[in-house]
Amino acid sequence: MLHGGSPTNAEAGPNAMSNSPAPATATLELGDATTPESGAWHLLGLITPLVTLTGIVAGQPAAGAILVLALYPLVDLALARPAPTRAARTDGQGLSLLLYLHVLLHTSVIVALCWRAAADGNTAATWVAMLSAGINSGSSGIIVAHELGHSSARSINHFLGRWNLLLTLYLHFTIEHNRHHHPAVATDTDPASAPRERHFWQQLAYTLPAQFKSAWSLAARSGPHNRFNSVLRGLLIQSALVIGVWQGLSAIAALAFVGQALIGIFLLEYVNYIQHYGLRRERGAPLTAQHSWQTEARWSRWTLLELTRHSAHHLHPGRHFWELQSYPDAPTLPAGYYALFWPALIPPWWRRLMDPLLEPGNRPQ
């Protein structure tokens, strides 16, 4: 059970660990510290899109939502203990193909949702399917888009990342994330970095328009070679897609498509919130591992493509997810991303968990 108390620590923008070892009998991983952790653990991330897709097609649309919102927080807590420190992986050994499989499954989930919504109409099954698909968009689609969005512009990876963002109606994310969030993280100028006094619902209301405004401004300053604002172009493409779903299938299908995108965006901003809550640096001050939260909770690590090693990502944005390692001096969340979802939505619970960790004496040195 999560409770407050003394903490324990366990598009082309920027360039496109140490935990106490536990006995081998207490972990899911065998091998010595010089051997990288098996990349096969990241196949667990396919469970969410597979269950979501199967549930929508087979008439059990709630399966994906129940899995992520009810079961995964419990698994996250059960696997909260970090695995032993392992050597960094330098070779993806097929992990790039895992990203492509995520893109395929994410696309399949969206197609299945629209098909189901057109067939079922305005029914509870349609809206529950929308919820499950939206959760998959947030936990698979946008996370993979984030990973691929740090690839070189005009590469196949960059294109696939943009495709995933199109399906979640959030194309301006790439320019804002890479060109503004990364340089400005943990400063007052970054709308994705929530200060200590701002709870999640306040942050959500602030960050969505602020990030869009920032992305628009960045696109407008892109130079004379880009005569058409890329954010405006993205809006027109997204609008055309929604209209196409409406005209090609039904108004209900279009509403379900937009709804799942909004849910995915909601989850993205939840993740942004817990990754940067309360951490601050002066504008222009050097970026360190102290300016993003990390967690080594294994279920979150394996299923969310090491997004949890966020301090490492900000220090090395050009590295692949499998190359990231934790930092012994980085602030560490009290649980994984799934386990913290419900507390983050309830401000008193969240502050009881997190505010003690922000006190100087409770931070790793």
Q: What is the 3-state secondary structure (H, E, C) of 38-105?
A: CHHHHHHHHHHHHHHHHHHHHCCCCHHHHHHHHHHHHHHHHCCCCCCCCCCCCCCCCHHHHHHHHHHH
d(CA 270, CA 343): 11
Cβ pair 291, 328 in contact under 8 A: no
| Residue 306: DSSP 8-state | T
Cβ pair 166, 238 in contact under 8 A: yes
Closest CA to 137 of 171, 102, 98: 102
d(CA 344, CA 269): 11
Q: Distance of alpha carbon 162 from its chain centroid, rounded?
A: 15
Positive or negative, the CA dihedral 186, 323, 12, 134 is: negative
d(CA 270, CA 344): 8
Positive or negative, the CA dihedral 352, 354, 359, 365 is: positive
Q: What is the pLDDT along the chain (365 residues), one digit of tens a residue?
A: 565 544 443 344 544 433 333 333 333 344 456 788 888 999 999 999 999 999 999 999 999 999 999 999 999 999 988 877 777 777 777 899 999 999 999 999 999 999 999 999 999 999 999 999 999 999 999 999 999 999 888 899 999 999 999 999 999 999 999 999 999 999 999 999 999 999 999 999 999 999 999 999 999 887 655 667 899 999 999 999 999 999 999 999 999 999 999 999 999 999 999 999 999 999 889 999 999 999 999 999 999 999 999 999 999 999 999 999 999 989 999 999 999 999 999 999 999 999 999 987 655 44
| Residue 5: DSSP 8-state | S
Cβ pair 135, 52 in contact under 8 A: yes
SS3 146: helix
Q: How far is CA 86 from CA 30, 38, 339, in A?
A: 10, 10, 24
Query: Residue for token digits 């390692």?
Result: 325
DSSP-assigned states of every residue in 196-253: TT--HHHHHHHHHHHHHHHHHHHHHTS-TT--S-HHHHHHHHHHHHHHHHHHHT-HHH
Cβ pair 181, 192 in contact under 8 A: yes
